[in-house]
Structure 1
Amino acid sequence: MAISDQHKIFMVMSYYRNGVKEDGTWQYSIGLCMEEFREEFPDFAVEYTQFRQTLNVSSKNFQENGSVTRKAGSGRPKKRTPELIEEAREVMEETPGTSIRHLSQQLGLSVGTCNTLLKKDLHLFPYRLTSDNRLSSKS
């Protein structure tokens, strides 16, 4: 089960709440935080390594952004931009029989990206015309 934002918020709050100041430095316990998390969410199973990694990333995000979620636009950049989708639409309207390989060469994209673009964005699906060789009965 995926860890929700509600879980992440509770993790970070518990982590900082259980901190102890020793010799002028703060010491935080992941173990105490995990115990408190299991008491609050008894039906939610999470392994220690996944808990630790999520807590580290969430607390880092909280310190940098003031939120446990990622910054907007921090993911991988998309190749399927609206301009490329429109360009692919124009190519397919001009020559509907264009193969995905030729389309990828024209647009400068990979075959996989063009396939995804055609299916998900343009709702076009590849097919191949086949001839049906029927036997006719002699009269």
Structure 2
Amino acid sequence: MKKLFTLFAICFFVSVLQAQESKHEKIKALKVAFITEKLALTTQEAESFWPIYNSYDETMHKLKYEEMGKIKKTLKETPLEDLSESKAKKMYQEWLSLENHMCSNRRNMLTKLEAVLPYSKIMMLQRAEWEFHRKLIDQLRSERRKGKERKE
């Protein structure tokens, strides 16, 4: 049953991957398939896990790319000589607040997962996230190297 569910999930997310346009959606679909395979969730666990994890992931994406993106954009566009101490302090406080919010969001997700998954699977989730990010970074580096080789 677990293998059938995993196979179905992977096939579903591969088809979603092909239909999606944005990089974020493609990466998200790959991440879901990767986590599904690594955690080997039962049907009952998956039904409880994915709503919690997806809510966490959506909030993190919003915080990292939308909210933090605003700070990065302002910092990039402001010449260092024009960055007053008061403006820097305000940006710093916003950044610190976002970091706290991201940490709180993760803690909240983990607390909710305690009620639906054994601790071993929660730890496997952490490992799966690390492995997924490592593979993603390695793939991006490989694509950049191939792009540079073609240009030469």
Q: TM-score range by the shorter chain?
A: under 0.3
Q: TM-score with structure 2 length normalisation?
A: 0.24
Q: Whose relative contact order is higher, 1 or 2, with alpha carbons under 8 Å and at least 6 apart?
A: 2
Q: Flag the structure with larger Rg.
A: 1
Higher share of residues assigned helix? 2
Higher share of residues assigned strand? 1
